[in-house]
Amino acid sequence: MDYGTSYLVLAVIFGLFMAWGIGANDVANAMATSVGSKAITIKQAILIAAVFEFAGAVLAGGQVTSTIRKGIIDVSDLGATPEILVMGMLAALLAAGTWLLIASNRGWPVSTTHSIVGSIVGFAIVGIGIDAVQWGMVGTIVMSWVTSPLLAAILSFLIFRSVQKLILETDAPLDNAKKYVPFYIFFVGFIIAMVTIVKGLKHVGLDVKGMDAIYISVAAGVVVMLLGKFLISRLQFEASDNINFHYANVEKIFSVLMLLTACAMAFAHGSNDVANAIGPLAAVASIVDSGELSQKSALPLWILFVGGVGIVLGLAMYGRKVIATVGTKITELTPSRGFCCEVSAATTVVLASGIGLPISTTHTLVGAVLGVGMARGISALNLGVIRSIFMSWVITLPIGAGLAIIFFFMLKGIFS
């Protein structure tokens, strides 16, 4: 391939740019509920994300990558001209990264999955032909954009109702919080362990199936529950804290939970969404390496590292605006509400990842925040903010496609 090195260098730069956009937009909303409910500070959020997003990306990021890389378009017609696919993937990365930069600047939590899918479809229509797009696959992905926020909203509504019934609306909320919160902590540990086992351990050569996976997850849940109980036992409860806010002491207990769910959410997010940046990069690397189109290309570890580094940088440098939108502007969050959002979002991500559906963490989390708001009545929601978020979701696909078409023709002009 004539321009092999140039292609690879550009792919790494654009892949890093796209991963940076994921950090600025997507990770920000994975952390937004924890920061918005004041359970953790923005600096702590960046540290947690650095560790757990990176771990999720490197350990569990390969499953969804294959869907992004070869599920959306049929590239079999490009056997003789693999460089067309290389330019297309470069254009897709640049287009998606550009749109994420614009959206993050506006504080809109848009879907990085939409952005890259739209961009790849846009390139395919002009670069290969409209028939090359697997419209059935695109349809399934579009379906998941409706189902994932809906499922997360229902889950968070139910979990928050359970918190209201068992703890907040009782005569002794603090005692009940001490009694029931460990069970919620167990659930968090269980879900995260399931995510890791179902998706992640194949990369490191461990394949755990069936009941074994459930036993290990239960054990992990128990360990996390004991850790949570220890952290709760260290908390100081002052009666005077409750003067301004009746549930101040109860919310302290939920702050411990938020810390655990923030880690969980970051891990789930890294495993699901790193694919959006490194799927196209892996495709380019594989073509440059072999000089031909191969459907089965191994995913080198350095590519996962590029994704992980970009994500952490994006959150640290530019994540504040989206955190403000999701964490404080949709509905007022407290640690107990934020916890319900995070757990239901993480559960939805687990379910979808298990089936191999590239869902949008953004839609899932916004859906979960809406569910908690609904549990408090429609007046608890800021409908203006919700309207602009939905608008930004709708335009993401066509904008991604349009930008990718422009960049594709520019790259074609440069390299041919």
pLDDT in tens, 270-296: 776 777 777 788 878 877 877 766 655
Q: Per residue in 182-219, is it b (16+ CB within 10 Å) or e — as a string? A: bebbbbbbbbbbbbbbbbbbebeeeebeeeebeebbee
- By C-alpha distance, which of 29, 111, 143, 19 is closest to 397? 111
**Lowest-confidence pick of 59-73, 96-110, 178-192, 284-298:** 59-73
Cβ atoms of 411 and 91 within 8 Å: the answer is yes
Distance between CA 54 and CA 125 in Å, rounded?
34
Q: Please give the Cα distance from 291 to 306 (Å, whole number).
A: 22
Please give the mean pLDDT across all residues of the chain. 81
CA distances from 272 to 19, 33, 293 (A): 13, 19, 25
Q: Give the Cα-Cα-Cα angle 140, 198, 116 (nearest 5 degrees).
A: 40
Q: How high is the pLDDT of residue 63?
A: 56
Dist CA 274 CA 57 (whole Å):
6
Cα 198 to Cα 350: distance, rounded to the nearest angstrom: 9
The model's pTM: 0.80
Q: How confident is the model at residue 304 (pLDDT cuts 50, 70, 90)?
A: confident
How far separated are the first and last CA of the chain, in Å rounded? 12
pLDDT in tens, 51-62: 888 777 777 655
* Structure token digits, residue 257: 């939970």
- Long-range contacts from 165-172, C-beta under 8 angstroms, 24+ separation: 167/250, 167/336, 168/247, 168/250, 168/336
How does residue 24 score in pLDDT terms, banded at 50, 70 and 90? confident
Q: Per-residue pLDDT averaged across 160-185, rounded?
A: 87
Confidence tier at 17 by pLDDT (50, 70, 90):
very high
> By percentage, how much of the chain surpasses pLDDT 70?
87
Q: What are the CB-based long-range contacts (under 8 Å, 24+) for 191-194?
A: 191/217, 191/264, 191/343, 191/346, 191/347, 191/350, 192/220, 192/224, 192/263, 192/264, 192/267, 192/268, 192/346, 193/217, 193/219, 193/220, 193/221, 194/350
Token pair for 383: 């409908």
Asked whether 216 and 301 are in contact (CB, 8 A), the reply is no
Q: Which two tokens stand for residue 131?
A: 């028939």
The listed range with the strongest mean pLDDT (71-80, 127-136, 205-214, 235-244) is 127-136
pLDDT per residue as tens digits for the range 370-394: 888 887 777 777 888 888 888 888 8
Strand partners, 133: 73
pLDDT digits (tens, 9 = 90+) for 33-43: 888 788 788 78
Could you give the dihedral angle defined by the CA atoms of residues 318, 321, 323 and 326, in that order, rounded to the nearest 10 degrees? -150
Q: Would you state the structure tokens that stand for residue 270, as one six-digit string?
A: 């890294």
Percent of the chain exceeding pLDDT 90 equals 12
Tokens linked to 301: 């570890």
* Reported confidence tier of residue 407, pLDDT bands at 50, 70, 90: very high
The alpha carbon of residue 354 and the mean position of all alpha carbons in its chain are separated, in whole angstroms, by 15
- Short-list 152, 145, 112, CA closest to 370: 152
Average confidence (pLDDT) over 182-193: 85
Query: Tokens 């907040």 correspond to what residue?
Result: 168
pLDDT at residue 255, rounded to an integer: 82
Of 82 and 227, the structure prediction assigns the larger pLDDT to 227
Q: Residue 152: helix, strand or coil by DSSP?
A: helix
